A and B are shown apart, each in its own frame.
Chain A
Amino acid sequence: MRAAVRQGVSVALATGLYGISFGALSVVAGVGVLPTMALSLLLFSGGSQFALIGVVAAGGSPVAAVATAALLGARNTLYGAVVAPLLGARGLRRLAAAQVTIDESTAVAVAQTDRRAARAGFWTAGVGVFVLWNAFTLVGALAGDALGDPRAWGLDAAAAAAFLALVWPRLASRAAQGVAAAAVVVSAALVPVVPPGIPVLAAAAAAVLVGVLTGPRPASPAALAAHGPTTGGGTPGHAPDDATDESDESEARTP
């Protein structure tokens, strides 16, 4: 659990400092200091925020600005569905959890091996990024680029390394390695041709496809009649392996 908190804090620092870039760019784009702060407080999703001010700066319509922000925010729906069972939050806590459901909080939560650590990691990263992102948005909006580029401190590489460290322990099974390879190919191929935020969704879709194609077949009545209940599907020697790997994992993840 302490490891989860440490991960959350590291991720919050690396990401939160980027608020400077957003604040400075937003003011340059003609969005005033108050609307800029409203975006970081209320919208709170980096990709969507950068996209929205991009449309505003380019003189786009309000409908285009809202639609672009929503398109890029769609991955947060998937994140919410993944973290909700780990958090078990109700009422106001659930609303707060929804607001801080972003790349970083989800990544830290799902990387943990038990539910308590997942909760600690989610809230540390989520609230940590929220506080720092907003504080540094204000700094950037007021001070502009005077503080320098976070890239010079290597913070963009720090964020990439944090995501790599979070996925690393999950790459033990052959199925996971296949999915990771597919995600690399799909993401790299799509980055130049689609808006930010979409490659992540496409990689998730590819994972579902790989999972369905390589996984144990559903025990439909027809399958039971054709193969009997014990064969489990058409790729002998492959499916049982994966099934073992995955059941190990789900055991580890149960509190």
Chain B
Amino acid sequence: MTTTVLWVTVLAASLACFALKLAGHLVPEHWLADERVSRLTGLVTVALLTSLVVVQTVGDGRGLTVDARLPALAVAAVALALRAPFVLVVVLAAGAAAALRALGWG
């Protein structure tokens, strides 16, 4: 790719991605005010967050991988069940993954 083509690609992709983000913000609010729609948005939120957990825990850009992230997520789940605060949950998970990797696994 020449420098000009590269810049056109970068700017066109940026414009497309911004338009996609803005389109969501411009959805008329009364569409979402309907009770059935707001029930669905609540469930969609759960699905989005859960899917992000899965992708971030076992995804590697190409396929599924089991590595230090999975036991670290288990540590986070135990901490959450024990009602640990958010920051502690995140730090414990990072520490667990970092420790396992320092020991040469995952």
Binding site for B on A (CB under 8 A): 3, 6-7, 10-11, 14, 30-32, 35, 38-39, 42-45, 48, 50, 52, 56, 62, 65-66, 69-70, 73-85, 89, 94-95, 97-99, 101, 103, 106-107, 110-111, 151-168, 170-171, 175-176, 179-180, 182-184, 186-188, 191-192, 196, 199-200, 202-204, 206-208, 210-212, 215-216, 218, 246, 249-250
Query: How many whole Å from A121's CB to the nearest CB in chain B?
Result: 11
Query: How many whole Å from B12's CB to the nearest CB in chain A?
Result: 5
A202 CA / B52 CA spacing, docked (Å): 12
B interface, over-half SS? helix
Contact B10 A191 (CB under 8 A): no
Given contacts A6-B87, A164-B80, A191-B59, contact A157 B73 (CB under 8 A): yes
Q: Which residues of A contact B75 (CB under 8 A)?
A: 161
Contact B101 A151 (CB under 8 A): yes
Residue among A65, A167, A211 making CB contact with B9, cutoff 8 Å: A65
Residue among B17, B33, B36, B48 making CB contact with A69, cutoff 8 Å: B17
Interface residues of B in 7-35 (CB under 8 A from A): 7-14, 16-18, 20-27, 29, 32-33
Binding site for A on B (CB under 8 A): 1, 3, 5-14, 16-18, 20-27, 29, 32-33, 36, 38-59, 61-64, 68-69, 72-73, 75-77, 80, 86-87, 89-99, 101-102
